[in-house]
């Protein structure tokens, strides 16, 4: 698997939500009004071509869930990439393919993390009204958001594969996910696991050389200590009432149905969360989240995860699998 490492630029784009989504949040006693405008987004189908353990794919999935974009994950065979036959000039993941429904006519193909995150998915309604007050330029381009986007994509993500593939046995275990995909035949699953694990083991060694990492475990530990230190800062400067405060700027208690706009993660939060999300079910996950050195990371991860569950529950899925 190849890592798509590009310089991260602050994203700046407007976000206008078409309608009120039917609420299915636990503990919520009322449902929002379903309007015809709600169905506009479902005129399109969003298919995300991915590798399940790819940190960049998981960043995109986290972002789409936060955006309340219903999408379908398509697992790509890393050996043949047969699922990407439609893409002649770009053969990496993630790719987000937007088609019309039900005809499945291709409208747009977004290649790579940058394009997917910076695309405008929601337009205003006929009265040019914007429906989501929680989304603004600070979400993507504030100093804090930009810093942690870069941290997640340029620093943390490159450390994952070398740590997942310390040995061939570790690499083989990391490919267990292929057995959960019913679209692959038994022969394909074991071919991917055996051949893919060897390929990723050697690819991880190249990453280690490229970034001049002497000890990948120490490097990951230092990166996590940097994150823990930021989350543990006390006496953070309080911003003015009209300024947004995000997780990396202020420790908060949430979620609740009455959460204010200051209780939302920014894109930097989502980027770091997405990188770590792909580790769930792997030994490296337990090593990080059971480590007593990182209590703030555990709490922060739980908080962001809860926000994402709520926003995902507010999204009409229409049969989508993610």
**Could you tell me which residues come within 8 angstroms of residue 152 by beta carbon, excluding any fewer than 6 positions away?**
59, 268, 271, 272, 274, 275
Q: What burial class does residue 97 get, using C-beta atoms within 10 Å of its C-beta: 0-12 exposed, 13-18 middle, 19+ buried?
A: buried
Q: What is the CATH number of the domain that holds 67?
A: 3.40.30.10
Do 89 and 180 fall into the same domain? no
In this prediction, residue 39 carries a pLDDT of 55
All residues at 6 or more sequence positions from 31 whose CB lies less than 8 Å from its CB, including other chains: 22, 23
Asked whether residue 50 is domain-assigned, the answer is: yes
Last residue of a domain, one of 75, 109, 136: 136
Specify the pLDDT at position 129. 40
Q: Mean pLDDT, the chain, as a whole number?
A: 78
For the ranges 16-20, 43-47, 142-146, 177-181, the maximum mean pLDDT occurs at 177-181
3-state secondary structure of 11: coil
297 and 153 both lie in a single domain: yes
Q: Are residues 305 and 215 both part of a single domain? A: yes
Average pLDDT over residues 273-284: 95
Rounded alpha-carbon distances, angstroms, from residue 265 to 105, 129, 283: 34, 23, 27
**pLDDT score recorded for residue 130:** 41
Q: Is 100 helix (H, G, I), strand (E, B) or coil?
A: strand
Q: How many CB atoms lie within 10 A of CB 294?
A: 20
Region 309-320 average pLDDT: 76
The tens digit of pLDDT for each residue in 165-203 reads: 999 999 999 999 999 988 999 999 999 999 999 999 999
Instruction: Give φ, ψ of 46 to 5 degrees.
Output: -115, 120
Q: What is the model's pLDDT at position 36?
A: 44
On whether both 132 and 193 belong to a single domain, the answer is no
> Quick check: is 88 in a domain?
yes
Tokens describing residue 47: 């298919």
Residue-wise pLDDT tens digits, 220-254: 999 999 999 988 874 344 444 444 444 554 344 44
CA 186 from chain centre, in angstroms, equals: 29
Q: Is 24 contained in some domain?
A: no
Based on the domain organization, do 190 and 307 belong to the same domain? yes
Distance, in Å, from the CA atom of 151 to the CA atom of 169, rounded to the nearest integer, reads 29
CATH number for 230: 1.20.1050.10
Beta-carbon contacts of 221 under 8 Å, excluding residues fewer than 6 positions away, are none
* Better-predicted residue by pLDDT, 238 or 316: 316
d(CA 170, CA 165): 5
207 and 252: one domain?
A: yes
Q: What order do you get walking across the sheet with 106-111 strand by strand?
A: 72-75, 44-50, 95-100, 106-111
* Residue 33 is assigned to a structural domain of this protein: no
**In-domain check, residue 302:** yes
What is the longest distance spanned by two Cα atoms in the chain?
59
| pLDDT class of 38 with cuts at 50, 70, 90 | very low
- State mean pLDDT over 141-155: 92
Provide the residue range defining the domain that includes 206. Answer: 138-311
The tens digit of pLDDT for each residue in 212-226 reads 899 999 999 999 999
pLDDT at 30 over 60: no
Q: Are the CB atoms for 200 and 161 separated by under 8 Å?
A: yes
What average pLDDT score do residues 18-32 get?
32
Number of domains in the chain: 2
CA-CA distance, 175 to 313, in Å (whole number)? 29
**Residue where a domain terminates, one of 136, 167, 197:** 136
> Cα(247)–Cα(268) distance, rounded to whole angstroms?
9
d(CA 128, CA 130): 7
Claim to verify: residue 60 and residue 112 sit in the same structural domain: yes
- One-letter-per-residue 3-state SS of 294-308: CHHHHHHHHHHHHHH
The DSSP bridge partners found for residue 50 are 75
The helix-helix angle for 143-150 and 267-277 (nearest 10°) equals 20
What pTM did the predictor assign? 0.79
**Which of 112, 136, 160 is at the close of a domain?**
136
Kindly state whether residues 83 and 151 are assigned to the same domain: no
Render 144-181 in DSSP notation, one character per residue.
HHHHHHHIIIIIIHHHHHHHHTSSHHHHHHHGGGGGG-
Distance from C-alpha of 133 to C-alpha of 116, rounded to nearest angstrom = 21
111 and 210 co-located in one domain = no
Tokens of 231: 């989350």
User: Would you say residue 9 lies in a domain?
Assistant: no
Residue 278 and residue 160 in contact, taking contact as beta carbons nearer than 8 Å? yes
Residues 250 and 115 in one domain: no
């Amino acid at each position: 698997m190849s890592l798509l490492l590009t310089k991260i630029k602050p994203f700046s784009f407007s976000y206008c939500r078409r309608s009120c989504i039917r609420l299915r949040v636990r503990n919520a006693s009322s449902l929002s009004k379903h309007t015809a405008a709600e169905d506009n987004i479902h005129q399109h189908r969003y298919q995300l071509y991915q590798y399940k353990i790819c940190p960049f794919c998981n960043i995109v999935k986290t972002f789409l869930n936060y955006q309340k974009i219903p999408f379908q994950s398509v697992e790509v065979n890393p050996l043949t990439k047969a699922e990407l036959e439609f893409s002649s000039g770009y053969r990496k993941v993630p790719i987000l393919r937007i088609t019309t429904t039900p005809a499945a006519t291709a409208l747009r193909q977004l290649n790579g993390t940058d394009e997917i995150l910076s695309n405008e998915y929601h337009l205003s309604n006929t009265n040019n009204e914007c429906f989501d007050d929680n989304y603004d330029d600070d979400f993507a381009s504030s100093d804090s958001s930009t810093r942690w986007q870069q941290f997640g994509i340029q620093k943390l993500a490159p450390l994952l594969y070398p740590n997942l593939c310390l040995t061939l046995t570790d690499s083989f275990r990391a490919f267990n996910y292929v057995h959960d995909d019913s679209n692959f035949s038994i022969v394909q699953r074991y071919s991917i696991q055996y051949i893919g694990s060897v390929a990723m083991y050697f690819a991880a060694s190249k990453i280690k050389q490229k970034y001049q990492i002497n000890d990948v475990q120490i490097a990951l530990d230092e990166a996590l200590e940097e994150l823990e230190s930021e989350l543990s800062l006390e006496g953070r400067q309080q911003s003015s009432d009209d300024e947004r405060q995000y997780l990396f700027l202020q420790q908060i208690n949430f979620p609740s149905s009455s959460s204010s706009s200051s209780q939302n993660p920014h894109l930097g939060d989502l980027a770091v969360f997405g990188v770590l999300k792909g580790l769930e079910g792997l030994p490296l996950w337990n090593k990080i989240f059971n480590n007593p050195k990182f209590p703030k990371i555990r709490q922060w991860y739980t908080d962001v995860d809860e926000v994402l569950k709520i926003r995902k529950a507010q999204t009409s899925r229409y049969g989508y699998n993610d």
